Amino acid sequence: MHIGVPKEIKNNEFRVGLTPASVHEFTVHGHRVTVESGAGIGIGAGDDDYRAAGAEVAAAPAEIFAAADMIVKVKEPQAGERALLRPGQILFTYLHLAPDPEQTRDLVKSGAICIAYETVTDAAGGLPLLSPMSQVAGRLAVQAGASALERAHGGSGILIGGVPGVSPAKVLVVGGGVVGENSIEVALGMGADVTVVDRSLPTLARLAKRFGPALSTRYSTKAALDQLVPASDLVIGAVLVPGAAAPRLVTAAHVKAMQPGSVLVDVAIDQGGCFETSHATTHENPTYVIDGVVHYCVANMPGAVPRTSTHALNNATLPFGLALADKGVAQALAEDAHLMNGLNVCRGKVTHATVAHDLGYDYTAPAVALAG
């Protein structure tokens, strides 16, 4: 199979779909890989590193999209990239379609076979290709929030861990999944006063067992959020409903009740955001202020640390990418129900039930769409 790796073009996105080590794995398996010139600069990998790994280097993305059987990326294809997709071509990347009707429309129109990292599952009920970036984003959320709390960045001027004799920041984590757990770990490590809310009692029990009495746990209800959000200096939104738009749990009224200079970090922004006042921002302009509250809503947070993020992502995606290349898309999906769960759009049909529901498309079973 011919694998194409274009350079990411989303604002300040420096990750890359394949590292040189991953390229080498594909070539050892007998596949051809073409990488766009400069695609790996953000992770410290030059064109010569990719050539040494066995890749060809192309000057422009159009060459890659025109020739490759499978496109491997990190972020969802931008409008210009979507226009280059062709019927039957495999796209393997993050998509986050539920809050993005324009992208969904273009992918349906393209006739491509689009497999989303974020909806591939595993036997334990987890999301193995989302988890590494959730770990990164959860840790970054605390860093970003701590920075935004600084007075020079619009915050209230609170040091997240305080100092002896001065109270630390009150941090509320909404959602106790992978993002939330990593946020809790870092926030507690920095000395913050941390509370987590979640609707899963087993999740709260697991977190309480791991972090002990340093972490306060609350069952997530409207009443709990009414009490906790206004009292928090930093709120981290870590809510995920796989494949679906995130629920807006923190309302505009909650934001209005917060103290000026408080900070919201919405890690769920890729799925539309879990704060009513959220809208996507970029690394170039990461924050905005509503009712005196600083909002950090960067839609590709792990792109801030592309070396760590790319290597972590490739560790997870490589086995699935090799299966697609070695077996072909139909056989690879048929033999792996978890990879089949990643199929979101196929040959003009929406094949993920939640995406179809949220965006008003007819749902087509993945096996039916593949056969068609």
Supply the residues annotated as catalytic: 96, 270
234-237 β-sheet, strand order: 215-219, 193-198, 170-174, 234-237, 263-266, 293-296, 287-290
All residues at 6 or more sequence positions from 293 whose CB lies less than 8 Å from its CB, including other chains: 255, 258, 260, 261, 262, 263, 264, 277
- Angle between helix 178-189 and helix 131-148 axes, rounded to 10 deg: 40
Structure tokens at 262: 């408080």
Nearest to 333 by CA among 315, 321, 316: 321
Phi and psi, residue 328, nearest 5°: 85, 155
Phi and psi, residue 192, nearest 5°: -75, 160
Nearest to 22 by CA among 9, 45, 247: 45
